[in-house]
Amino acid sequence: MNLLIKGGRVIDPSQGIDEVLDILVENGAIKELGKGLAAPAGAGVVDAAGLIVTPGLIDMHVHLRDPGLEYKEDIVTGTRAAAAGGFTSVACMPNTKPVNDNKAVTSYIVAKAKAEGLVNVFPVGSITQGSKGDALAEMGDLKEAGCVAVSDDGRPVTSSELMRRALEYAKGMGIMVISHAEDLSLVGEGVMNEGFVSTELGLKGIPWAAEDAATARDVYLAEFTNSPLHIAHVSTMGSLRIIRNAKARGVKVTCETAPHYFSLTDDAVRGYNTNAKMNPPLRTADDLAAVKEALKDGTIDAIATDHAPHHLDEKDVEFNVALNGIIGLETSLPLSLKLVEEGVLTLPALVEKMACNPAAILGIDRGTLRQGAVADITVIDPAAVWTVEAGALASKSKNSPFLGWEMKGAAAYTIVGGTVVHSRG
């Protein structure tokens, strides 16, 4: 089906475009950008007046829980949540059951996403077999089957030697390594950020040094091996300092943060709120400010949600036994748009971090509205005001610390390969 998106403010940093234009989509690809384009016979028309039109947003860090943990989420509900949040592509982490450490699992994910998913799903394979940290996974096979990166996300590769070899080997296979930077021996039995709030609540703390020390190790290994490295969910001032410094030296390191790290601090844990329990944990106001600064100066390349659905029974328990993680796909866009309102980012810079850069880091042919590109497009209504309600979320799980929050900004239309997969009714 053909589509004309009329009169929206088109922001495409990949081409340096920021102006009111029409976009004509034909056979699932971008046919033309211009003013006063006419709709061909039979084409659908999206009136984008007053709306923002961007390359389809990409969330490079989600957990779809499929296969094996479908009671939390599955490829259908997860991609529906993605579409509702304005994402046309997601990269899904390998900590499924079984772990995505072989091409059979990758192929299952790719096939199911193709058949039933609403948005593009790019699987991330594991770095090590079973994500156990003992032996390298078959990265060549994983890539061939469709993986766009490897990560043992959820846990670090504890052996420095193995991490070194992973970076070297992945480089040979042309696949990106994503590091979950955490020193587990420093984490111990910690369940939240170590600081004043953990002291007051009597909860075991996780020191920021647990993230910083591991980030430093992985950055130095990337430098030593001259391999590209992406650091997931950066949350501390110290890690950002290490990454900024490494980038200045020319180390091929990129990183992402998640909306909760620039929207919440560990204050959110008060009342033993398990929906504020995540890994890395919510940090302090100083860290939050550092995250914003790093978004502004480009140290942080991408905004990803770490969408981590959990069943109510896994969160409705004492804080120390609750599982880590929150959902994020449906709240990411408005929380990130707030950065624009606050003057942290310009709209084009935000689009870079939510579409162009994730595509570039993962090496996928998305994140652009260039002529001939796949017509993955997000149409954003920046003025839409709505309240986060559990019942209205498309995700199977409802573990969000933002329930009840009023949000500004929403995806008016999510278009994948020229097809509208979500429209705000």
Partner 1 sequence: MGFKHKDIIGLQDLTREEIQLLLDTADNMKEINSRDIKKVPTLRGKTVVNVFYEASTRTRTSFEIAAKRLSADTINISASTSSVTKGETLSDTARNILAMKPDIIVMRHAASGAHHYLAQRVSCSVINAGDGAHEHPSQGLLDMLTMRQKFGTIEGLTVAIVGDITHSRVARSDIFGLTKMGAHVRLAGPPTMMPPGIERLGNVTVCRDMREAIEGVDVVMMLRIQLERQGKTLLPTLREYARYYGLNPQNLKLAKPGAMVMHPGPINRGVELSSYVADSDQSAILTQVENGVAVRMAMLYHVSGGELATE
Annotation: binding site: 61, 63-65, 95, 153, 180, 233, 279, 306, 310
Whose tokens are 């790290």? That residue is 261
Task: Please report where in the chains the tokens 């490494």 appear, as a residue.
Answer: 246
CB of 392 to partner 1, least distance (A): 24
Q: Which of 155, 204, 311, 370 binds partner 1 (CB under 8 A)?
A: 204
Name the one residue in this structure whose structure tokens are 């929050």.
405
Q: Which of 116, 196, 267, 285 touches partner 1 by CB under 8 A?
A: 196
The DSSP line for 392-408 is G--SS----TTTT-EEE
Query: Under rule CB under 8 A, which residues in 322-361 are in contact with partner 1?
Result: none
Q: Which is nearer to partner 1, 193 or 368 (CB)?
A: 193
The single residue of 306, 313, 376, 381 carrying the catalytic annotation is 306
For residues 372 and 360, what is the distance between their CA atoms, to the nearest angstrom? Answer: 17
For the residues of 102-144, what is the DSSP string, one character each? SHHHHHHHHHHHHHH-SSEEEEEE-SBGGGSSSSB--HHHHHH
Q: How many CB atoms lie within 10 A of CB 316?
A: 11
The piece of 91-99, 201-209, 351-359, 415-423 that touches partner 1 (CB under 8 A) is 201-209
Member of 158, 162, 245, 272 binding partner 1 (CB under 8 A)? 272
Q: Is 306 a catalytic residue?
A: yes
Compute the least distance from the CB of residue 399 to partner 1, in Å: 16
Closest CA to 258 of 417, 52, 77, 61: 61
Using the minimum distance from each CB to partner 1, give the nearer residue, 319 or 386.
Answer: 319
Interface with partner 1 includes 198 (CB under 8 A)? Answer: yes
Of 78, 195, 228, 367, which one interacts with partner 1 (CB under 8 A)? 195
203 binds partner 1 (CB under 8 A): yes
Query: Which residue in 13, 94, 205, 309 binds partner 1 (CB under 8 A)?
Result: 205
Report CA-CA distances (Å) from 345 to 220, 295, 297, 298.
29, 7, 9, 10
State both tokens at 333. 């866009």
Which residues are near partner 1 by CB under 8 A?
A: 194-205, 271-272, 313, 316-321
